[in-house]
Structure 1
Amino acid sequence: MTAPDARSGTGRPAELFFEDLVPGLTVDLGVVTVDADEMVAFARRFDPQWYHVDPDLAAASRHGGLIASGFYTVSLFMRAYVDHLLSRAAADASPGLEELRWLAPVRAGDRLAVRVDVMGARPSTARPGLGTVSLTGTMLRLGPDDRPEQEVLRTRFRGWFAVRPVEVDPAEAETAETAEAAPTDGDRPEADRPDSGLTATDPSTAGSSDGTPTVSSDSAEPQRND
């Protein structure tokens, strides 16, 4: 049974945890198609450089037409990452990225295959209960035959993921609660305590077998601890 707070990145119950994201794992994040209107609208709002928003200037340049803002391209990657991995995984925040490279221009109509590769994983020292996973994300332009033609984006980053909750057997939990609730000898009235088999001895008659008191040499004068 999954703990109630084990949520995926989109808030649904998680099915993947830190332990599942092992080095060497590759996760297919699907294929995205670059929409022309969305590409230009993003650039006008966030990155209005002429080769992103002016078709005439872009056509007359070495670019040969409009190209996508790099931040639009990485936004497409992020959406695929959320849809196909974080929506299933017990994801927390990300401590950051180490690399972000735009390797080739992206244009309207391009079909981009997206994936992530798990490069490393270790328990988090800063956040108990989480593990740090190192990932590499890539986007590859596909040709007409759906074969990869060119890598257009690469990024290396880290993510925090919750460790798998420990499942507790309800019967074992009930047994443990019963054991904790059971009274100890210290909680019982003296009359109810079991006989230990030991008998208290009068110090004045302890020592010899005939009942003669034994005098301890330590009774002469108390020892000082200076």
Structure 2
Amino acid sequence: MRYYEDLEVGAKASFGRYEVTREEVIEFAEKYDPQPFHLSDEEAAKTFFGRLSASGWHTAAMTMRMTVEHFRTNRQAGLGSPGIDELKWLRPVYPGDTLRCESELLEKRLSASRPGMGITRGRTTVFNQHDEPVMTFVANGLIRTRPAA
């Protein structure tokens, strides 16, 4: 288990592999982001996307899945997140793309109001199979400090 004290500012991690399918792109869009360019090849061809593309929110959800899997493998004493900053969709994500993540811990500090808790900020960049960044964001995290012996 990794605690606040184990985290080093500047530390980087590469993780995840997510294959984007046409079926999933359409299913997500139908349920959560039913814009025509996420649902129809014909409508998408009329936009700058050029073809059917995943919702940016779907890209964020796929990234969350990869992140949770990474945390399951590399257990941390995480306590959730108060939010994210600077979310940017840089390139469209298309069916057939394979996504992966890279993260860097930007800063950490102890909570002034909650003993036993640290606060982190880290940047995550999501890449496609061509190593092109498709999304980036800065996440704020909460993590336990190491219990007293």
TM-score (norm 1): 0.62
1:131 is aligned to 118
What one-letter code is carried by the residue in structure 2 that aligns with 1:29? F
Give how far 1:86 is off. 5.7
Give how far 1:135 is off. 0.6
1:103 is aligned to 90
Specify whether residues 29 and 73 from structure 1 end up closer, same or farther in structure 2 by C-alpha distance, changes over 3 A only: same
Correspondence 1:147-166 to 2 at 5 A? 148=131, 150-166=132-148
Q: C-alpha separation between the residues in 2 aligned to 1:96 and 1:86? A: 20
Unaligned runs of 5+ in 1: 1-14, 168-226
Give how far 1:42 is off. 0.5
Query: Which portions of structure 1, spanning 4 or more consecutive aligned residues, are displaced by more than 6 angstroms?
Result: none
Residues 16 and 67 of structure 2 are in contact (CA less than 8 Å); yes or no, is this contact kept in structure 1?
no
What one-letter code is carried by the residue in structure 2 that aligns with 1:45? K
Residues 87 and 138 of structure 2 are in contact (CA less than 8 Å); yes or no, is this contact kept in structure 1?
yes
1:72 to 58, 66, 71: 58
Q: C-alpha separation between the residues in 2 aligned to 1:62 and 1:84? A: 33
Matched, 1:21 2:3: no
Deviation readout 1:90-125 (Å, 9 max, x if unpaired): 110211112100000000010112121100011011
Greater relative CO (CA pairs within 8 A, separation 6+)? 2
For these two proteins, the number of residue pairs brought into alignment is: 148
SS in 2 for 1:67: coil
Give how far 1:85 is off. 2.1
Taking every aligned residue pair, what percent have the same amino acid on both sides? 34
Give how far 1:33 is off. 1.3
Matched, 1:32 2:14: no
What one-letter code is carried by the residue in structure 1 that aligns with 2:138? R
1:58 is aligned to 44
- RMSD value, Cα: 1.4
Could you say which structure has the higher strand fraction? Answer: 2
